[in-house]
Each structure stands twice: as C-alpha cells, then as structure tokens.
Amino acid sequence: MLTFTIRRLVFAVPTLLFIALVIFLLLELAPGDPMAQVPLTVPPEVKEAMRQALGLGEPVPIRFWKWLVQFFWIEPQVFIDWLTNKSFLFGWLPDTDVYVPCSDATRAYCDQRVISWQTRSPVMDIVMQRMPQTLTVVGLSYVVGILIALPIGIYSAYRQYSVFDQVGTFVSMIGYSVPPFFSGVLVIVVFSVVLGWFPSIYDTTHRVTDWDSFVYQVKQMIMPVMVLALQTTAQISRFMRASMLDNLNQDYVRTARAKGMTEWVVVLTHVLRNSMIPVVTVIALGVPAVFGGAIITEQVFKVNGLGQLLITAIQANDLPMVQTITFIFAILIVLFNLIADVLYGVLDPRIRYD
C-alpha cells in the first residue's frame, strides 16, 4: 500500500507540471495587456520598465520556470514564515526567516513572489484572505449534504421501490438537473424577495460576537449552503442507495439474519460498513467538483470567495491570479483523486494494487 501511495505521489508530479504548462500556455495567448490601465501620459520607456518589473519581457520557458519557482519554492517559504511567526497553531515554534522580502534593501538577494496585475500585491495573500469564506460555505455545505444523503440512501435501499424510495429518486433527479445558478436564484426569489426571511447577499465583513450576530451568520449561510448541499445530496444518496442494494442481497447478510441478529445490527453494522467503501471514495472524489460548483454559487450569493476572485481576475485580465487559482483547483483535483485511490485500497482488503 505504501509503495502504491508513493508511486501515485510520484506520478502526480508530472501530471501537475503538465497541467501547469497547459494553463500557462493557454494564458500565453491572452490578448490583454497589464499596462492597459496605465495613463497615456506615462512615457513608453517607463511603461517598458514597468513591464520588465512585472517579469513580462522574458521568453516563455523562462517565465514558466520562474512561475514554477515562485509557486513551489518561494510561496511555501512565505507560508512557513507565516506559520511560525503569526499563526495560531504553530506560533510557539521558533520564528523562522526563510523568505527574503524585496522591500528589505539591505540584502543583496531577494525573493520575488507571484504578483497580481490587478492589485500589485502578492496573489497568495489575496487567496489566503478569500479562502475562509469559500471554506466555510463550501466545506459546511459538503458536510451538510453528506449528512443528509447517507440516511436517505440507506433508507431508500432498505425499502426499495417504496414511496420514500420513489420520492427520493425523483428529488435527487431534480437535484441533478436544476443547475445551481437557477436553484440559487430561485431560493433568493422565494426566501429573500417574497418571504423576506434571509438576506440575499452574503456579508463577509460580518463578525460573530454575540448570540444575535451568530443568528445573523446562520441566516446568511443557510441559502448558499443548502443550494450547494442539494447537489451533493443528490449524487451521494444515489451512490449510497446503489451500494447498499449491492450488499443487501449478499450471503453474509442472510447469515447475519440467520444468526438472529436484529435488523438494526444487520443493516447498520454489517451492510453499512461494507457499502461505505465505494461511497467514501465518491465523497473524496466530489470535493474538487464542489469547489468548482462554488464558483457559480458564490457569484449568485455575492460571496467574495475564491470563485468570485477567479471571475473578477478573468474579467480584469489578471493572468498571474488566474494561473494561480486555476492551478490550485488542479492541485485539489489531483490530490483528492489520490486520496480516493488510497482510501479505496485501505478500506477494502480485497483490493491490492501491488
């Protein structure tokens, strides 16, 4: 199992490099000019110097290499410094100083970070600012979706073709089919415009300090979380049902019943544990897709998370930002594919990759 994991990890490196290259070459074709916003009174030689400062003058392979160095070598240094100096978890460690900022003119050498063309600040700083919003909304919706999906899947398999099962099938079909940009708008129309229960715009500056502000936070999170959770629920409850049905007719279930075990033990201990194996991998595989879906949901509810950052960066032709965020999504996909494969091997002793 360990060799398999290591082999997969090693194979993930060329995959990620290839994806980074594809994104980079695609963005290379972009017609946008980062100097387009600079006033016309700025002389051309100054503009040229500004382009050089943004690292634009050099040939493509060198720029790709520099981006790789920035992303995989310099940004982790910044992150380590941040962890040991400021973070809540590892602040007790001795302060490190691996990153050399360019603002410090006393040193001969300095590390250039990935700079956004839009804001002229490091891309990863902005990403870290936006990350909590995306994680709370997306992460919570995924957890809620799974928690709703599992009991539905178990019960509809146990009572196959019952009314509950039929309704569950229909509802999950709807969950599949209604795109989030419509279900989001629909719940806004119903619950914000007509009923006025929840705010239609997610306020990220809101801080939870007391009970009332907590209630407001819950209110503003319900709609985006439920819209995203509907999709998760639809998919995972179907998988759970199919997987339970595969196991319910197995011989060991009959044996367990023949031994005189209660239905509760048979279904929830014997069948459920075996049925969870494929479902867990599906749950792991679904994580990146949920991040992708959050791009649209964030746009609908005006959550200023990663997805919204990507859209504004695309509209503003901010190529380093687009490159970095797209690549972060790619890392998520590759990582969770790997986790799913490894989990499958760990959970199911019949599967041996070696």
The distance of closest approach from Cβ of residue 27 to another protein in the complex, given in angstroms and rounded to an integer, is 7
What is the token pair recorded at 242? 């199919």
Compute the least distance from the CB of residue 288 to another protein, in Å: 7
Minimum separation from the CB atom of position 303 to another protein (A): 14
Smallest distance, another protein to C-beta of residue 34, A: 15
Joined together, the tokens standing for residue 273 give: 């544990």
Which candidate, 303, 136, 291, places its Cα nearest to that of 205? Answer: 303
Q: Which of residues 302-341 bind another protein (CB under 8 A)?
A: 310-311, 314-315, 317, 322, 325-326, 329-330, 332-334, 337
Polymer length of the chain:
354
User: Shortest Cβ distance from residue 186 to another protein (Å)?
Assistant: 6
**Spatial contact of 81 and 99, defined as CB atoms under 8 Å apart:** yes
**Do 223 and 191 meet the contact criterion of CB atoms below 8 Å apart?**
yes
Binding status of residue 139 toward another protein by CB under 8 A: no
Residues 48-87 that bind another protein (CB under 8 A): none
Contact partners, residue 123, CB within 8 Å, separation at least 6: 113, 114, 115, 116, 320, 321, 324
Q: Is 296 in the site for another protein (CB under 8 A)?
A: yes
Kind plus residue range of the DSSP H or E element containing 299? helix 272-301
Nearest 5°: CA angle at 126, between 319 and 110?
Answer: 80
Q: Note whether 182 binds another protein by CB under 8 A.
A: yes
Residue 141 CB, shortest distance to another protein, in Å, is 17
Instruction: Decide: helix, strand or coil at residue 115.
Output: strand
Taking each helix axis from N to C terminus, what angle separates 2-28 and 319-347, rounded to the nearest 10 degrees? 160
Residue of 168, 278, 288, 320 that binds another protein (CB under 8 A): 288
CA distance 310 to 217: 24
Q: Under rule CB under 8 A, how many of the chain's residues touch another protein?
A: 43
Q: Dihedral, CA atoms, 326, 329, 294, 299, nearest 10 degrees?
A: -10
**Measured in Å, how far apart are the chain's first and last C-alpha atoms?**
7
Pick the binder of another protein from 135, 178, 248, 253 (CB under 8 A).
Answer: 178
State CA 256 to chain mean position distance. 41
| 245 lines the binding site for another protein (CB under 8 A) | no
Applying CB under 8 A, among 2, 3, 10, 29 the residue interacting with another protein is 29
Kindly tell me which of 41 and 315 has the beta carbon lying closer to another protein.
315
Which one among 42, 49, 174, 346 touches another protein, defined by CB under 8 A?
Answer: 174
Nearest-approach distance from CB 59 to another protein, in angstroms = 20
Q: Which stretches of the chain bind another protein, using CB under 8 A?
A: 15, 18-19, 22-23, 26-27, 29-31, 173-174, 176-179, 181-182, 185-186, 188-189, 193-194, 288, 292, 295-296, 299, 310-311, 314-315, 317, 322, 325-326, 329-330, 332-334, 337
